[in-house]
Structure 1
Amino acid sequence: MAISGKISVEVVIQVPVSKFFHILAKEFHNIQNICERVHEGNLHEGDDWHCTNSVKNWTCLVDGKVITFKEKIEGIHEEKKLIKYSIFDGDIGQNYKLFKSNVQVTETNNESASVKWTIEYEKINEDVKTPYSFLEFLERSTIEVGDHLHKA
């Protein structure tokens, strides 16, 4: 059984790339008001939700269980529409030595975007499950944000 690995999912949403990426890069604090599975998010450390030195606390519903973790943006690449996150502490930190998530948004046509989430992880031991449930959480949250933006 592998202790580390990389998993990904790709979702097509009916929202322009710039609109979806803007939510992630500039209005991430609103995700808790859009996504049913995101119960709470707050700024733990730093001055701004959207800069690389800020740490956020999250409480989310993943695989039917409420989990907590901290998240920090490692990098935002505007031209590539790519954001790199580090996820740690809380329930994630109890099971993984390393947990990083990247999201890249690409254009499929003028009115839709492809959103690809990739999780790179290292488990604390072989008994820890591969984080498919967290990947499903990201997939469902992407669909919810896409539906919200499509209606707006």
Structure 2
Amino acid sequence: MVLAGKLITELGIKAPGEKFFKQYASELHEVHNVCERVHHGKLHEGEHWHHNDSVKHWTFVIDGEVHTCNEQVEEVDEENKKITFKLFGGDIENYKVFNVILEVIIKDNGSSAVRWTIDYEKKNEDIDTPNGWMDYLSKCTRDIDGHLVKGENVVL
């Protein structure tokens, strides 16, 4: 049985790609206010949310069950609109490696898409492939996209 793998999904978004990327790159502390399945996020270690040395603790729902894990940003590539998050602890303890990679793709026609990649390695063959994560990330993408589009239509 295969212990390591990748899961990938790509979703079109209506919000500008730059705004979507900014939500994760510099406004991650607001995600639990926007995403229905993210119940709580808090700074676990460090002084700043958006610093590579900081560790965040998350509580969220996948497949109808509450899960927890810690998260740390491994890499932010501003130019290519790509962020690599390392997840560990909590419900991720059954994996040697569990990285979630966000890529915002801005197309030539002005539209944007979000590509999520989960790069994982299970500790043993009895551990399930993290398929529920793709539904979770898709739902969060739709929630954030809707929030950003709604915010664009606000006239001050």
- TM-score of Structure 1 vs Structure 2, range by shorter chain: over 0.9
Question: TM-score when scaled to structure 1?
Answer: 0.96
SS in 1 for 2:51: coil
Alpha-carbon distance between aligned partners in 1 of 2:7 and 2:133, rounded to the nearest angstrom: 10
2:87 is the alignment partner of 1:87: yes
Q: Which residue of 2 aligns with 1:145?
A: 144
State how 1:79-118 maps to structure 2 within 5 Å: 79-93=79-93, 95-108=94-107, 109-110=109-110, 112-118=111-117
Alpha-carbon distance between aligned partners in 2 of 1:10 and 1:35, rounded to the nearest angstrom: 18
State how 1:1-152 maps to structure 2 within 5 Å: 1-93=1-93, 95-108=94-107, 109-110=109-110, 112-152=111-151
**Shift of residue 15, structure 1, vs aligned partner:** 0.7
Q: Which amino acid counterpart does residue 34 of structure 1 have in structure 2?
A: V
Structure 1, unmatched stretches of 5+, are none
**Shift of residue 140, structure 1, vs aligned partner:** 0.9
SS in 2 for 1:143: helix
Q: Which amino acid counterpart does residue 92 of structure 2 have in structure 1?
A: I
Alpha-carbon distance between aligned partners in 1 of 2:80 and 2:89, rounded to the nearest angstrom: 29
Identity of aligned residues (%): 45
Larger Rg: 2
Structure 2, unmatched stretches of 5+, are 152-156
Q: Which amino acid counterpart does residue 124 of structure 2 have in structure 1?
A: N
- Deviation digits for residues 24-50 of structure 1 (CA, Å, limit 9, x no counterpart): 101000000000100000000111111
Q: How many residues align?
A: 150
Question: TM-score when scaled to structure 2?
Answer: 0.93
Deviating above 2 A after TM superposition, structure 1's stretches of 4 or more consecutive aligned residues are none
Alpha-carbon distance between aligned partners in 2 of 1:35 and 1:24, rounded to the nearest angstrom: 12
- Deviation digits for residues 63-115 of structure 1 (CA, Å, limit 9, x no counterpart): 1100000000001110000001100000111x2111011110011343x3110
SS in 1 for 2:61: strand
Alpha-carbon distance between aligned partners in 2 of 1:113 and 1:63, rounded to the nearest angstrom: 27
Alpha-carbon distance between aligned partners in 2 of 1:134 and 1:85, rounded to the nearest angstrom: 14
Q: Which amino acid counterpart does residue 139 of structure 1 have in structure 2?
A: S
